[in-house]
Every structure is written in structure tokens, then in C-alpha cells.
């Protein structure tokens, strides 16, 4: 299946006056990073190590970033940041308002480039395009547009791109380039951390491919499209009605026709599991999940944010793959018998 690419967008501004300066006048000390969610904050912490101080605005699993109302403290966190990490694609639109209100300049990295993203450049910032992520310091302030990584793709229009390991690796690359620009003296540490992260990400990709070898051709029913990117990459066929998924994303009532269609799909012998969002649910979605469970289908709850404070991003995704693989292993013998 062809899938539309949503490019990584990086709007990069050199920072003035946001941190202590070294003897040569250049910034020193940890880079202040503000991320919209703990997902991207965790990745920044991994690559930045001791040379970043990360504030994640939405860091509680009970909070929905779609409807989050920012506070004065959040504005201050953006104001004081040298770097801001945004998911983009409308997922965390509140951050765009904070960036607009904050004075000064900062690095802004977005995982998804979309029409809802604002251009925060102005006439004092020279624009440059650089496919190799090389930074030429001929101008005091430089604005860089990230290249379109067209060899990587994910489910069209899906904003939950942290479930796409290719996009996550691209964000990690952008973090490495930007942190190195901000703190060149720590380039070696950033590079080492980045390499470790990418190596571990490749292990997850190998595990995803192993899941694909078992799951290819079988069905999954996603009550929400949260992990649809991962499920598609794992080889599952999405069986949920398109109208149902659109209703959930648009936060409107699911039609009786879609509910009836779901009930019929739950009889499909090739359907292995049902996926729900642990953090976003309502009476209708819960009713559909209960219906699936009553048919003997495993109902797997995944999360939008890292659900365990002792985990980093890699731990979280490894646990998700553990759960999915165990579910497939348990379901497949029954499918073979049938």
C-alpha cells in the first residue's frame, strides 16, 4: 500500500540570552529543552544526556494533548527554552500559540510538517535550506527547513508518528544536529548517545519484522488509530470501518451502522486482536471493546504517553512489542485449528 509521507520539519534559530555563556561568549551548560509530551522529551533526554534539561509539558497519561489548555508556567517553559520539540500535525496545537507568544528565539523541531504549523521566522532570520544538516554560521541567526525524507512513510494523515520508528529516527537525527550546533563542545557525547539510540531502535525494527512474519495477512481492529502506523508496519490488515475511525478522531458519535459493522467484523476468523487507547475512551468506544471481549477477542490497550515513569521511549516500545507478540502467539494456534 502506498502511504503518504509527512516530512520532518525543523525550524532552527540560534538562541540569544537563554543560557549562561562561556569565556568566549558562546552558550554553555545544559540545553534547556521544552517538549510538548514526555514521548519526545524522553528521546531528547536520551540523546542529550547530562547536557540537556528537559521539561515535558504533558507528562501525565491522564492528560489528552489534543485538548490541553496551557498555563502561564507552560509559557515560561517555552520562553526559557533553547529548543522546543513539537509533534505537529495538529496533535499539540497548543504549543504553536506558546511559541508565538514567547519572546526571543529558539530551536523548534517538529516531527510532522502540516498546514497547522506556523512559520516562526522573521526578517531578522536568514532562511537557508540544507539537505546535509550542515550549519553555516555566516548569519547570526539561521532558519533551516528539514528535508523531505521521502523514503520513509507512515499511515496517511496519522499524527501519532512516535509509533513510526523511521520518523523517530529522523527526529533523533534532527536532535543530534541541533544539539551539536548549540553545544559543539559536547558533540562527541551527543553522537555516542545518538548511536546507542539508533542501535536500540534498529533492534525494535528487527522485532517488528519478526512480528510481521507471523501477523502478515491477519486482521486487527483499531477502535482508535493511535497505533495504526505500527500495526500496518507489522503486516496487519486494518479491519475497522473507516467511518468509525473518523468518528473517533473527530470526537463525534459513532454511527449505529458502524457499530453493527463492527459486530459483524468481530466474527471474522482472521481477526487476531482489538486495539484501544488506554488514555482516550468514552462510553461508545468502551461498548465496542466490551463487545469484542464478549466474542473472545483479545483487547489490547496501548497508550499515547509513556505509562511508566521508570521507562524511556525505547523501554515503552519494547513492552508494546512484547504484548503484541504474546497476543499473536496465543491467537495463532486457535486460528490454525479453526
CATH code of 171's domain: 3.40.50.1980
**Nearest alpha carbon to residue 81 among 60, 55, 101, 59:** 55
- What was the pLDDT predicted at 65? 87
Asked, for residue 180, whether it belongs to a domain, the answer is yes
- What was the pLDDT predicted at 97? 95
Range with the poorest average pLDDT among 7-11, 63-67, 302-306: 7-11
**Nearest alpha carbon to residue 35 among 116, 108, 97:** 108
Task: Tell me: do 34 and 166 sit in the same domain.
Answer: yes
**Nearest alpha carbon to residue 105 among 133, 79, 74:** 79
Average pLDDT over residues 85-108: 95
How do beta strands 83-88 and 31-37 pair? parallel
Domain residue limits at 256: 216-337
| DSSP, res 296 | T
Range with the poorest average pLDDT among 7-16, 167-176, 302-311, 324-333: 7-16
| DSSP, res 276 | E
**Nearest alpha carbon to residue 262 among 214, 227, 222, 231:** 222
- What was the pLDDT predicted at 62? 80
Task: Tell me: do 260 and 132 sit in the same domain.
Answer: no
- What was the pLDDT predicted at 61? 81
Q: Cα 89 vs. chain centroid, distance in angstroms?
A: 11
Task: Tell me: do 60 and 170 sit in the same domain.
Answer: yes
Residues in the chain: 338
Task: Tell me: do 24 and 140 sit in the same domain.
Answer: yes
Average pLDDT over residues 25-49: 93
Compute the radius of gyration of the chain from its Cα atoms. Answer: 21
pLDDT, one tens digit per residue, over 69-96 is 999 999 999 999 999 999 999 999 999 9
Confidence of residue 150 (pLDDT cuts 50, 70, 90): very low
Asked, for residue 2, whether it belongs to a domain, the answer is no
Q: Is 124 helix (H, G, I), strand (E, B) or coil?
A: coil
Amino acid at each position: 500500500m502506498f502511504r503518504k509521507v509527512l516530512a520532518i520539519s525543523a525550524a532552527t534559530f540560534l538562541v540569544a540570552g537563554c543560557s549562561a555563556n562561556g569565556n568566549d561568549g558562546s552558550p554553555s551548560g545544559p540545553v534547556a529543552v521544552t517538549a510538548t509530551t514526555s514521548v519526545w522529551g524522553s528521546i531528547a533526554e536520551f540523546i542529550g544526556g547530562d547536557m540537556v534539561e528537559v521539561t515535558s509539558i504533558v507528562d501525565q497519561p491522564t492528560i489528552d494533548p489534543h485538548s490541553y489548555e496551557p498555563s502561564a508556567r507552560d509559557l515560561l517553559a517555552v520562553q526559557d527554552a533553547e529548543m522546543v520539540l513539537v509533534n505537529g500535525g495538529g496533535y499539540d496545537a497548543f504549543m504553536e500559540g506558546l511559541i508565538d507568544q514567547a519572546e526571543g528565539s529558539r530551536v523548534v523541531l517538529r516531527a510532522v510538517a502540516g498546514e497547522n504549523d506556523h512559520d516562526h521566522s522573521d526578517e531578522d532570520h536568514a532562511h537557508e535550506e540544507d539537505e546535509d544538516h550542515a550549519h553555516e554560521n555566516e548569519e547570526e541567526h539561521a532558519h533551516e527547513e528539514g528535508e523531505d525524507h521521502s523514503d520513509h512513510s507512515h499511515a496517511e494523515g496519522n499524527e501519532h508518528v512516535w509509533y513510526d520508528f523511521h520518523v523517530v529516527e529522523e527526529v533523533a537525527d534532527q536532535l543530534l544536529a541541533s544539539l551539536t550546533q548549540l553545544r559543539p563542545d559536547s558533540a562527541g557525547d551527543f553522537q555516542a548517545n545518538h548511536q546507542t539510540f539508533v542501535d536500540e531502535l534498529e533492534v525494535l525494527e528487527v522485532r517488528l519484522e519478526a512480528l510481521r512474519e507471523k501477523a502478515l495477512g491477519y486482521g486487527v481492529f483499531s477502535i482508535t488509530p493511535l497505533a495504526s502506523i505500527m500495526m500496518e508496519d507489522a503486516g496487519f490488515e486494518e479491519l475497522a470501518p473507516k467511518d468509525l475511525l473518523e468518528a473517533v478522531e473527530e470526537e463525534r458519535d459513532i454511527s449505529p451502522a458502524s457499530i453493527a459493522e463492527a459486530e459483524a467484523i468481530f466474527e471474522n476468523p482472521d481477526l487476531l486482536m482489538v486495539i484501544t487507547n488506554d488514555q482516550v475512551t468514552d462510553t461508545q468506544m468502551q461498548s465496542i471493546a466490551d463487545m469484542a471481549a464478549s466474542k473472545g477477542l483479545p483487547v489490547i490497550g496501548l497508550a499515547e504517553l509513556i505509562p511508566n515513569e521508570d521507562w524511556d521511549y525505547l523501554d515503552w516500545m519494547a513492552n508494546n512489542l512484547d504484548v503484541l507478540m504474546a497476543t499473536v502467539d496465543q491467537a495463532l494456534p486457535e486460528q490454525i485449528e479453526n
